[in-house]
Amino acid sequence: IAIIEDAAQAHGAQINNIKVGTIGHAGCFSFFPGKNLGAYGDGGAIVTNSDELALKARMYANHGRNNKYDHEFVGVNSRLDSLQAAILNVKLEFLEKWTHRRRAIAEYYNEKLKNIVETPEASPKAKHVYHLYVIKVPNRDKVKMLLQEKEISTGIHYPIPLPFTKAYRFLNHQPDEFPLAYSLKDQILSLPIHGSMSDLEVEYTTLQLIDILKHNGA
């Protein structure tokens, strides 16, 4: 069985001191602008130590061809353009710095919010890169609205559990088959976190959230 890692949001993450994306037969990274390492447009990469798999991946991304006019199978046009590659090459130098900053912000959130809401818990064997910082909060929609009034943008990742997306409706899944995922969809809230977020912004977000929770049943 081939092991393919979805590392789209895990640039630089580790488990047992092993880099995520290098554990399976192949690892897949996204360079969508919102990712920890993002281009200015769509992009991504497959990493592998298999020459055979690497060749097939390159061919598939280039209309199924290895030579210019000979297509060995039906592929797609998924080549990373030179502009995106140049941007990523520059941003890559800052990835470690941005990751360090994300971890520092997450540590601050953890410390200030640990007795107020349920915060994310990382395994001691893992080095998290905090693409998202998601808390579990009662009255989520109201809290989100009140934070927005304070000019604090938050997100919901993700509002629809996978079994209940349109693509899988034909399976007729019911909420009691996935009770935890179904209940969490109404409680999760992603706080702001990114590599250039200032101490003042982090503190402001935290203080406003604490104040809102104190007055809204948390």
Domain range list for the chain = 4-30+44-79, 95-214
Percent of the chain with pLDDT over 90: 96
Q: What are phi and psi of 159, to 5 degrees?
A: -75, -20
Largest CA distance in the chain: 67
**pTM of structure:** 0.93
pLDDT in tens, 121-138: 999 999 999 999 999 998
Q: Could you tell me the CATH superfamily of domain 95-214? A: Aspartate Aminotransferase, domain 1 (3.90.1150.10)
Contact 197, 100 (CB under 8 A): no
Residue 58's φ and ψ, nearest 5 degrees, are -65, -40
Q: Is the model's pLDDT at 217 over the cut of 70?
A: no
**Per-residue model confidence as pLDDT tens digits over 59-68:** 999 999 999 8
Q: What is the pLDDT of residues 159-168, one digit of tens each?
A: 999 999 999 9
- Asked whether the predicted pLDDT for residue 216 surpasses 90, the reply is no
